[in-house]
């Protein structure tokens, strides 16, 4: 039983740090566009409604993602649920425009993983 608990703790810690680091890195990159040009992922319908540029919108998204990563670090149970919801919203936005469906599917898988990490946080306290 001890070995099982050790494995569960290792999996939880790995997931926790992934959902701390990845949102912070992705959020920071919204300001530099080193990994990709993030504006290409903005749904054109949404972009038309924005009172500012897609680049400004993505910087706002970046701040939200950085805060979400920090939130997972401080409060993994609730932070994991926030990240799961955020990733689901992103995926739905991509699917609504039928853009980057592969990224949308990946984000849904990540959302399920973040939800799972939050559930483990609840059990492991």
* Cα angle 82-96-53, degrees, rounded to a multiple of 5: 75
Distance CA 48, CA 28 (A): 24
Structure tokens at 116: 């799972």
Q: What local confidence, expressed as pLDDT, does residue 77 receive?
A: 98
Q: What local confidence, expressed as pLDDT, does residue 119 receive?
A: 97
Residue ranges in the chain whose pLDDT is less than 50: none
Please write down the long-range contacts of 59-66, taking CB distance under 8 Å and 24 or more positions apart: 59/30, 59/31, 61/27, 61/30, 62/26, 62/27, 62/28, 62/29, 62/30, 62/31, 62/38, 63/27, 64/27, 65/23, 65/24, 65/26, 65/27, 65/30, 66/23, 66/24, 66/27, 66/28
For 30, other C-beta atoms within 10 Å of its C-beta total: 22
> pTM of the entire structure?
0.92
Distance CA 39, CA 62 (A): 12
């Amino acid at each position: 039983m001890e070995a099982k608990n050790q494995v569960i703790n290792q999996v939880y810690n790995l997931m926790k740090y992934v959902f701390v680091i990845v949102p912070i890195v992705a959020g920071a990159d919204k300001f530099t566009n080193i990994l990709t040009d993030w504006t290409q992922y903005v749904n054109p319908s949404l972009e038309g409604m924005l009172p500012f540029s897609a680049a400004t919108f993505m910087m706002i998204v970046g701040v939200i993602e950085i805060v979400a990563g920090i939130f997972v670090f401080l409060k993994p149970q609730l932070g994991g649920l926030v990240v799961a919801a955020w990733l689901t919203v992103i995926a739905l936005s991509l699917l609504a425009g039928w853009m980057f469906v592969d990224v949308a599917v990946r984000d849904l898988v990540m959302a399920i993983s973040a939800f799972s990490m939050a559930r483990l946080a609840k059990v492991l306290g």
